[in-house]
Amino acid sequence: MSEPMREKLFVDCDPGHDDAIALAVAAHRGQLLGVTTVAGNVAVEQTTINALTVLQLLGSEVEVHSGAAVPLNGQPGQFASFVHGDNGLVGATMPELTRSVASDDAAGYLIEATGEHPGAWILAIGPMTNLALAVQRDPTLVDRIAGITMMGGGTYGNITAAAEFNISFDPEAADVVFRSGAKIVQCGLDLTHQLCVDDALVAASRATGTAFGEFCSGMLGGYLDNIRALTGSNTEAVLYDPCAALAVTDPELFDFAQRFVEVELTGALTRGMTLMDQRSWMSEGGPVQWAQTIDAVAATNLILDSIAAAP
Ligand code: RIB
Ligand code: CA
């Protein structure tokens, strides 16, 4: 197993099964410095409980700061509990929570903490409301981070035909982030659909014999079962968020291209779409580092390595 680059990471998330795995990857393959939570898959109160639970099981003492309950426009978003269950982690056996949240000012924490730890990445794996609020309050934030590595967007959608869930939940926030001047690494659906959880990973998690391995086995098994029930097929379930973590901890697993990307805000059918310019004379040299391919076998091995590294 290659040695990780140990990039410094703040994680903004909405756990969510794939967020939970991304936290394990960030903790094992990077230097996890802090976590902020946002409404997305489920309400922010629950995504916060889920983040605290995963960090407790990882044995991580990093602070968790809760954040936005609604998108920038103030209109409540549509949660994805039909995918992740009412508590956001269907299938997981939730332990008694002994950890508590440090504050409810995620944006303020990101502004302060990125100053204390210059050169860190922000791993954005939920709706980007917290990031947008932080950038609006302090635009210089983008100058002291290495960049934002995000799971979001793509050339097609999942929550609509055009829009991916994280962008669709808060398009205005995504637009603020894309226009912020930050270095952006984008793992869209074109990339993340190359990495899935299957029955083998569920079994391998259980075979680690650790408490976290058992937690992940139940959690990932519940995710798979729910996706299979939703689709009516014996399909696999996409591991979206770990891709954005691995893109900075283990970039050698990826092929990237520089692309121009904008967020659609007003389209009747396309609101929340990330429009990547594919015209031949515009398709190179853009500011966004667009992840095109991932070595899914190596990535799965690193994910299992991250699960096994936890107590
Ligand atoms: O579209 C997938 C994204 O939406 C992932 O981040 C998943 O956790 C959900 O938040
Ligand atoms: Ca997520």
- Per-residue pLDDT band for 4 (boundaries 50, 70, 90) equals low
What is the domain partition of the chain in residue ranges? 8-309
Q: What is the pLDDT of residues 223-280, one digit of tens each?
A: 999 999 999 998 899 999 999 999 999 999 999 999 999 999 999 999 999 999 988 7
C-alpha distance from residue 253 to each of 2, 23, 190, 238, 256 (Å): 11, 18, 15, 17, 10
| 19-68 tens-digit pLDDT | 999 999 999 999 999 999 999 999 999 999 999 999 999 999 999 999 99
pTM exceeds 0.85 for this model: yes
Which of 165, 168, 193, 223 should be mutated for ligand 1, with most atoms under 8 A from CB? 165
Mean pLDDT score of the chain, rounded to an integer? 96
The Å distance, Cα 211 to ligand 2 centre, comes to 23
The CB of 41 under 6 Å from ligand 1? The reply is yes
Instruction: Output the CA 154–ligand 1 centroid distance in Å.
Output: 12
- Considering the chain, what percentage of its residues have pLDDT values greater than 70? 98
Lookup: tokens for 36: 């902020």
What pLDDT score does 226 carry? 96
Instruction: Identify the CA nearest to 242 among candidates 288, 286, 290, 298.
Output: 298
CA of 195 to the centre of ligand 1 (A): 13
Q: Which of 154, 182, 152, 149 is closest to 248 using CA atoms?
A: 149
- Using the mean position of ligand 1's atoms as its centre, give its distance from the Cα of residue 189 in Å: 10
In percent, how much of the chain has pLDDT > 90?
Answer: 94
Q: Which ligand is nearest to the CA of 187?
A: 1
Domain 8-309, CATH among 3.30.365.10, 3.40.50.360, 3.40.50.10490, 3.90.245.10: 3.90.245.10
* Predicted local confidence at residue 2, as pLDDT: 65
Of 4-13, 143-152, 160-169, 219-228, which range is least confident? 4-13
Give the pLDDT of residue 280. 79
Q: Is the pLDDT of residue 73 over 90?
A: yes
